[in-house]
Amino acid sequence: MNRISLIFIFCATVLTASAQTTANVQAFGKVDKADLELKECDFEKDANAEVLFDKATVFFSDVEIIYERHVRIKIFNENGKKAGDVHIKYYGGNHNEWVEKLQAQTINNNNGVPEFTKVDKKQIFDKRLDKRRSEISFAFPNLKSGSIIEYQYQVLSQSIGNFPDWSFQGELPTRYSEIEAKVPDVLHYKNLVRVTLPYAVYLKDPQGQLGKMALANIPSINDEPHMSSVQDNLQLIQTQLLSYTPGNGVVGTNFLENWTKVGQEIADDDDFGGQFNRKLNGEEEILNHAKTLKTNDQKIEYLFNQVKNTMKWNDGHGIYTEDGTPKAWDKKVGNATEINLMVYHLLKRAGVTAYPILLSTRQNGRINPAYPSLYLFNTSGTYVPIDSANFYILDATQKSNVYNIVPFYFLNSFGLSIDKDNKKYDVTFIQNNNPAREAILLNADITADGKMKGTAQISSFSYNRLGDIDSYKSEGEKKYIEDLKDGNNDLKITSLKVENMETDSLPLIQNIDFNLDLTGSDGTYIYFKPNLFTALQSNPFLSEKRMTDIDFGYLPNYTITGNYKIPAGYKVDALPASTRMAMSDQSISFRRLVAENEGTITVRYNIVYRKSIIFKENYEELRAFYKKMYELMNDQIVLKKG
């Protein structure tokens, strides 16, 4: 299970680590002079800091799992100092886990001699995050460029099902990462391995289960354009308890080894399933109005908006309620699960078929359907089936969310719907295959003195609409207008009028008046690019290599039409040709139509996405496609006097 960023392993053969690597894993407080004097990471030269080693050991004592972890990090520069802000999360709210033997220190180089500064115990903070989760945090004193920091601790868990997952990889390059496990014969686990790098150590025990596993020289993982999340792309191993055979030979099966048991576990919990039928003050008035509405969609929209507009989200996720739905309703403040269980409760009472659904946000990482676990989820919503192929996923925490569009941060993952009455728990893939359209229409006059004056109308639908509204409201109009210019200082927006911002069923309409200085024009020639007010100004796929899959989330669909009136005394000197192209699997297609008629040039672009996920193995083709597409988008039109 996904506990503190630790991990476990299922192995099949034996390798040994290089002597150089293992020599650098040392006891707490013992440091090599070479590491004290280390100036940069050998295999990632521009790194701000490097994990010298991250080593964990997992063993058992009676009915407890004990895992020990020792981490040592080298700080190379000022930017690397943020590695000294440590947060250790654990499930301490119900005293199921607790942290012991924590010690941490900064090590500095004092003329070749290590100088130690321990973290004061008074500066180690242990706080409760919610009913179940807790966090220990601390920062390192006397931290500077060249410092080494290290910390170690134990986590004790009372449940043998809480075997920790282990991530070999992180946001810093790691010289060596190792997990060693000693599992009793009576316990049997399964593992999901997502490791593509070569092992430095790969060892099994005599029973064929655990042993020791390690990687060396592991590159950092950081955000790439249009990646789902860092969590989805780490080199890691997850583990799950399948069975327990105590001394009497009976195989224990009270473990969450399938989704039905996971669903039943949460349905039986008072802080989730126990909230389903709890009455909310004043709900009868709301339900009486819902009964007057003719269609299910009208009822869903009304009840969803009642909760969304009444409740304030406290920024808390989690799959359990804190105060319970009735108390949170009275306070008008709640976490995500409290708010969305209110939506479910009202829909159910109004006669709408709906179910609570466990979810994982994009940042938290995708749900692996082959790994049944409550701890993969970090929030919940409401699932409303429409027909055999369509459904709504409702989340009333965000004021910009609408009932009939799946929130972007849930897309391309799985959710677990909870039908407690029928004891039915289904894993559902969450996607939206409806194109998210954006249409841009420009009408502009080109003047003989090398200027463009015109209007633009941007019609945004679905996720494009929601994204624009969120940006406008969060940034303010002044900053939003600057974003529309996208760094083009020659472009002046003289007016912006926005329509339908509060009407969810209509596209967002932005009417723009603008002036543009056409640089490079010299009295004889006028040059301009017909690529204005689009989301396609900067190519996101310039890197030669790609470490992660490309996840657009939804399916963008752009139609961009520009009509440009040629000034008197000028004629077309160079006009781009009409053209089209597509990825080999038709996942993305591009078309450009160019024509001139009676002194007006018309340019139309159509860009259609048919897949929201493109695997990293196809990155080379995608990169080449984007390179060509951006070249075509930025082809110049040339006018000549005479």
Q: What is the pLDDT of residues 9-54, one digit of tens each?
A: 333 333 444 444 554 789 999 999 999 999 999 999 999 999 999 9
> Per CATH, is 260-430 categorized as 3.10.620?
yes
What pLDDT shows up at residue 324?
Answer: 96
- pLDDT above 70 covers what percent of the chain? 94
Let me know: does 372 contact 239? Beta carbons within 8 Å.
no
Q: Which residues, 6 or more positions from 487, have their beta carbon under 8 angstroms from its beta carbon?
A: 537
Backbone φ, ψ for residue 376 (5° rounding): -75, -30
What tokens does 320 get?
């359990």
Among 147, 50, 149, residue whose Cα is nearest residue 108: 147
| CATH 2.60.120.1130 domain extents, the chain | 438-641
CA distance 285 to 183: 58
Count of CB atoms within 10 A of residue 208's CB? 10
CB of 239 closer than 8 Å to CB of 187: no
The answer to whether 507 touches 500, Cβ cutoff 8 Å, is yes
Q: Are strands 588-597 and 600-609 parallel, antiparallel or unpaired?
A: antiparallel
Q: Rounded to whole angstroms, how far apart are CA atoms 467 and 332?
A: 26
486: left (phi > 0), else alpha (psi -120 to 50), else beta?
left
Q: Give how far Cα 296 sits from Cα of 323, 352, 452, Å.
A: 30, 7, 50
Is the separation of the CB atoms in 393 and 382 below 8 Å? yes
Give the separation between CA 67 and CA 514, rounded to whole angstroms.
63
Q: Helix or strand or coil: residue 616?
A: helix
Tell me what pLDDT residue 207 has: 66
Which pLDDT belongs to residue 250?
A: 45
Phi, psi (5° rounding) for residue 417?
A: -80, 145
Nearest-5° Cα angle at 429, 197 to 194: 10
Phi/psi region, residue 351 (left: phi>0; alpha: psi -120 to 50; beta: rest), is left
pLDDT lower than 70: segments of the chain: 1-23, 206-210, 246-256
Fold of 19-244: Immunoglobulin-like (2.60.40)
Contacts of 279 (CB under 8 A, 6+ apart): 326
Rounded Cα–Cα distance for residues 237 and 217 (Å)? 17
State CA 229 to chain mean position distance: 4
CATH 3.10.620 segments of the chain: 260-430
User: In 10 A of CB 326, how many CB atoms?
Assistant: 17
Phi/psi of residue 355, nearest 5 degrees: -145, 145
pLDDT of residue 9: 32
Distance CA 355, CA 425 (A): 10
Fold of 438-641: Jelly Rolls (2.60.120)
337 closest CA partner among 363, 311, 365, 362: 311
Q: How far is CA 116 from CA 24, 69, 104, 106, in A?
A: 18, 20, 10, 6
CB 365 within 8 A of CB 410: no
Look at residue 448 in the predicted model and tell me its pLDDT.
Answer: 94
Please name the helix (run of DSSP H) or strand (run of DSSP E) that holds residue 362, with its range, or none: none
In the chain, ranges of CATH 2.60.40.3140 domains: 19-244
**What integer pLDDT is reported at residue 131 of this predicted model?**
81
Residue with token string 């180690």: 124
Among candidate residues 55, 54, 51, 105, the one with its CA nearest the CA of residue 74: 51
How far the first Cα of the chain sits from its last, in Å, is: 75
Q: Which pLDDT does position 359 carry in this prediction?
A: 98
Q: How many CB atoms lie within 10 A of CB 128?
A: 11
* pLDDT for residue 642: 82
Entry pTM: 0.88
- What is the rounded distance in angstroms from the CA atom of residue 124 to the CA atom of residue 326? 36
| Adjacency order of strands within the sheet including 637-641 | 525-528, 637-641, 570-574
C-alpha–C-alpha distance, residues 609 and 592, integer Å: 15
